[in-house]
């Protein structure tokens, strides 16, 4: 019997992908990229461990859909990073995969041409090419680890990873996080509850054994030592959770769980009520907490693009407005640069006094 009639009942077709090693050979790691990624990981670890008094700020589009716009944004962010480097360590948000509540575009890797053609092999190569360009530019990146296979293709070019609100409860994602080579953040659940994220931090900090694929595309059993550089991302839920009272409560929850008080505030999503224009107010509240003596907040996240707002993805991608998000609404660049410069100016005395 050539085909088992009990298998693949609902599978229409299969397409073989190039192996991670083959994709890497097409877009190989350069010495400049290696230096950027290493510096990015080392700096974020130092910030998490309070060896570096600065904040790290993950800033960039909600999702990447246009490589030209992403490169233009990166050039601007790179220049700003130098300007604020004494107080803030800027990391570009480069999200290629999008979890969907029901249906919708699943991200650049899954559908790089925005037309439901799902040319994933091309998406992986193009995504790796963008990451390589940004690393060569000297700009570290952060991304969401959504598909457990994708890090084998892109992980060596990523400085910071996140596990999203919808997948923090997932055992495969906790196992994957335990073996990631980057610091990794866990978002609280979409309803605002914290238990799953705290449990995920605990789980990922410990050794795991699980199934995956290696660089040659072979199935393998991975055994990890655990990821000691986890942190909790406060992204809000039914209500914001960035205020001082909530932060103090979260510090206590982490202490009771035996986990370090490392918090990153997502200024978007539930904390902004999904109103991108409210992100600066969330950031301002975090700054005030730092000025009042808080040390558990070690970073912030901002959704930002060349132009503000968002737009729907229609049937003709060529009609999309350049530099405008097709997923969550984002701050425009001018506002982003202004609030980050203001944050730098306000925090600089505190950072200098802590060195």
What pTM was estimated for this model as a whole? Answer: 0.96
- The pLDDT value given to residue 5: 87
- Burial readout 235-249 (b: 16 or more C-beta within 10 A, e: otherwise): bbbeebbbbeebbee
- The pLDDT value given to residue 101: 65
Tokens describing residue 300: 């912030």
User: Alpha-carbon distance 296 to 310, whole Å?
Assistant: 32
User: Alpha-carbon distance 145 to 148, whole Å?
Assistant: 7
**Residue 87: what are its φ and ψ, rounded to 5°?**
-130, -35
- The pLDDT value given to residue 3: 79
User: Alpha-carbon distance 248 to 250, whole Å?
Assistant: 5
User: Alpha-carbon distance 339 to 24, whole Å?
Assistant: 37
DSSP per-residue string spanning 306-327: SSSBB----S-GGGSPTT-BSS
User: Alpha-carbon distance 191 to 17, whole Å?
Assistant: 36
Query: 228: Cβ–Cβ under 8 A, 6 or more apart, which residues?
Result: 205
- The pLDDT value given to residue 61: 98
- The pLDDT value given to residue 103: 74
**Quick one: how far is CA 324 from the chain centroid?**
19
Q: What is the CATH number of domain 20-354?
A: 3.20.20.70
Give the chain's residues under pLDDT 50: none
Provide the 10 A C-beta neighbour count for residue 73: 26
- Burial readout 119-147 (b: 16 or more C-beta within 10 A, e: otherwise): bbbebbbbbbebbbbbbebbbbbbbbbbb
Checking DSSP bridges between strand 55-60 and strand 88-93, what pairing results, if any? parallel
Checking DSSP bridges between strand 55-60 and strand 160-163, what pairing results, if any? unpaired
- The pLDDT value given to residue 38: 98
3-class SS of residue 166: coil
Domain coordinates in residue numbering, the chain = 20-354
């Amino acid at each position: 019997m050539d085909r088992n009639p009990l298998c693949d009942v609902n599978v229409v077709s299969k397409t073989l992908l190039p192996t991670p090693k083959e994709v890497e050979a097409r877009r190989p790691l350069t010495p400049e990229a290696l230096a950027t990624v290493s510096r990015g990981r080392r700096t974020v670890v130092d910030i998490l461990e309070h060896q570096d008094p600065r904040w790290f700020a993950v800033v960039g589009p909600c999702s990447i859909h246009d490589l030209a716009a992403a490169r233009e944004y990166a050039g601007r962010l790179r220049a700003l990073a130098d300007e604020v480097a004494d107080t803030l360590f800027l990391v570009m948000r480069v999200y290629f995969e999008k979890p969907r509540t029901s249906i919708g575009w699943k991200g650049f890797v899954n559908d790089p041409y925005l037309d439901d053609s799902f040319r994933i092999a091309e998406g992986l190569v193009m995504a790796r090419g963008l990451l390589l360009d940004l690393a060569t530019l000297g700009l570290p990146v952060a991304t969401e680890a959504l598909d457990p296979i994708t890090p084998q293709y892109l992980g060596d070019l990523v400085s910071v990873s996140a596990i999203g609100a919808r997948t923090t409860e997932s055992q495969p994602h906790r196992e994957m996080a335990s073996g990631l080579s980057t610091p990794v953040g866990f978002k609280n659940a979409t309803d605002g509850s914290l238990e799953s994220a705290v449990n995920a931090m605990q789980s990922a900090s410990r050794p795991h054994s699980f199934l995956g694929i290696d660089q040659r595309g072979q199935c393998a059993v991975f055994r990890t030592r655990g990821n000691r550089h986890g942190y909790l991302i406060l992204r809000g839920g039914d209500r914001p959770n960035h205020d001082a009272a909530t932060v103090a409560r979260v510090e206590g929850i982490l202490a009771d769980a035996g986990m370090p008080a490392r918090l990153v505030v997502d200024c978007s999503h539930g904390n902004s009520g999904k109103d991108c224009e409210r992100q600066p107010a969330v950031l301002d509240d975090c700054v005030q907490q730092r000025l009042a003596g808080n040390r558990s907040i070690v970073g912030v996240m901002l959704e930002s693009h060349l132009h503000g707002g968002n737009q729907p993805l229609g049937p003709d991608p060529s009609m999309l407005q350049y530099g405008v998000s097709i997923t969550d609404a984002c701050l425009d660049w001018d506002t982003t640069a202004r609030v980050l410069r203001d944050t730098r100016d306000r925090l600089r005395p505190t950072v200098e006094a802590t060195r």
